[in-house]
């Protein structure tokens, strides 16, 4: 099932200091993290994908803002924020998040596994990502603007695996 009204944004502007290289170039089983995530998204029916890299930003929200300035985001009902350091998320999780979003298009949809929330997060495009966040990031915008949050339970531990250092790959 294609989700043509959802734009996947992959924040990947970090320099990867802890990892030793930019994570969008890091390899996992012979594929870059970027390729892993794009393949996951396409398998789940997401074809509108933007890799937000090469911005001189220090945080995810700044990267998202730079990306949205380059795009026409108003044609999408939601943004799937899929950080580059979560390459183990399964297509079935993406599909479940998007399907839930279509039933609750004004809600923020977060995956949860074993009672812990993770990534990616699907937010309605109606949230103003350019509002003053008091230097608290996307969480502040969600807290102040979202009509609600649905923590959608999944059996995908990949939503919790944040790969910040090469040794984090040993968790898998």
Place of tokens 């320099």: 15
pLDDT confidence bin for 73, thresholds 50/70/90: confident
Greater confidence (51 vs 24) lies with: 51
The verdict on domain 6-171 having CATH code 3.30.479.30 is no
Nearest Cα neighbor of 62 from 75, 49, 52 is: 52
Quick check: pTM over 0.85? Answer: yes
- Strands (DSSP E) along 33-100, which ranges? 49-52, 78-81
Greater confidence (140 vs 14) lies with: 140
CA angle 113, 115, 119 (to 5 degrees): 45
Q: Quick one: pLDDT at residue 13?
A: 78
Mean pLDDT across the chain, nearest whole number?
Answer: 91
For the chain, the domains span 6-171
Q: Check pLDDT > 70 for residue 134.
A: yes
Q: What is the pLDDT of residues 1-15, one digit of tens each?
A: 579 999 999 998 777
Residue 27's DSSP bridge partners are 32
Average pLDDT over residues 138-160: 96
- What's the half-sphere exposure (Cβ side, CA atoms, 13 Å) at 114? 6
Query: How far is Cα 142 from Cα 123, in angstroms, rounded to an integer?
Result: 8
On whether the CB atoms of residues 80 and 9 are closer than 8 A, the answer is: yes
Q: What is the pLDDT of residues 88-123, one digit of tens each?
A: 999 999 999 999 999 999 999 999 999 999 999 999
């Amino acid at each position: 099932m294609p989700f043509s009204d959802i734009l996947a944004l992959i924040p990947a502007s970090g320099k990867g200091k802890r990892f030793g290289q930019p994570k969008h170039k890091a390899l996992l089983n012979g594929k870059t993290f970027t390729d892993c995530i794009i393949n996951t998204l396409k398998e789940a029916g997401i074809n509108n994908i933007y890799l937000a890299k090469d911005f001189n930003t220090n945080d995810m929200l700044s990267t998202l803002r730079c990306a949205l300035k380059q795009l026409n985001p108003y044609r999408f009902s939601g943004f799937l924020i899929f950080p580059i350091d979560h390459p183990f998320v399964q297509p079935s999780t993406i599909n479940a998040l998007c399907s839930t979003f279509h039933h609750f298009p004004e809600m923020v949809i977060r995956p949860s596994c074993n009672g812990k929330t993770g990534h990616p997060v699907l937010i309605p495009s109606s949230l103003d990502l350019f509002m003053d966040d008091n230097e608290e990031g996307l969480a502040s915008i969600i807290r102040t603007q979202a009509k609600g949050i649905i923590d959608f339970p999944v059996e995908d531990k990949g939503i919790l695996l944040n790969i910040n250092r090469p040794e984090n790959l040993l968790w898998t």
